[in-house]
A = this chain, B = another copy of it.
Amino acid sequence: MFAFQNPHPNLIAALESGGYRVTAPRRAIANLLEQKQEGFSVEALSDELPSVGRATVYRTIKLFHAAGVVCKLATINGSHMYSLCRNDHHHHHTVCVECGAVEEFRVDAVERLIRQISEDIPGEIVSHHLELYVNCGACPETKGK
């Protein structure tokens, strides 16, 4: 049911196959991303990479997002964050409200449900957002309570 972290979401490959140059800053960003289990804001990412200009980090994440290798998700407070995309197919996310860990899940029942709702409302559903906020039960923050 779940797609837990596939070990090699290849960001560099995504650049190459998109016809983009593989530069030192992009490599540094990709390396950092590949070891992240949690969701992150571009700002925080940029702080972790002082040698790369802020604008470049924003531009690169936007690139990865367009290529479909990172996904954008909403936080509980309405701002948004990104996470590595480990799953080719349409999927949804759980976000731990304590530690920020992001998991992907794909439940066909969600799509079925949306199709069903679609029959009951006027107009046509063109897209949807679904995010689940959890206490993952595995992070130090949760265990400490």
The residues of A with any CB-CB pair to B shorter than 8 Å are 1-2, 72, 74, 76, 78, 80, 94, 96-97, 103, 105, 107, 109-110, 113-114, 116-117, 120-138, 142
Select from chain B the residue with minimum beta-carbon distance to A142.
B123
Nearest neighbor of A124 in chain B, beta-carbon distance: B135
Cα A1 to Cα B96 in complex, Å, equals 32
Which of chain B's residues has its CB closest to A101's CB? B123
- The answer to whether A130 touches B133, judged by C-beta atoms less than 8 angstroms apart, is no
CB < 8 Å neighbour of A133 from B80, B107, B126, B138: B126
**Which residues of chain B come closer than 8 Å to A124, judged between CB atoms?**
134-135, 137
Shortest Cβ distance from residue A123 to the other chain B in the assembled complex, whole angstroms: 4
A110 nearest in chain B by CB position: B113
Q: A74, A105, A130 — which one has the most chain B CB atoms within 10 A of its CB? A: A130
Interface residue from B110, B116, B123, B134 paired with A123 (Cβ < 8 Å): B134
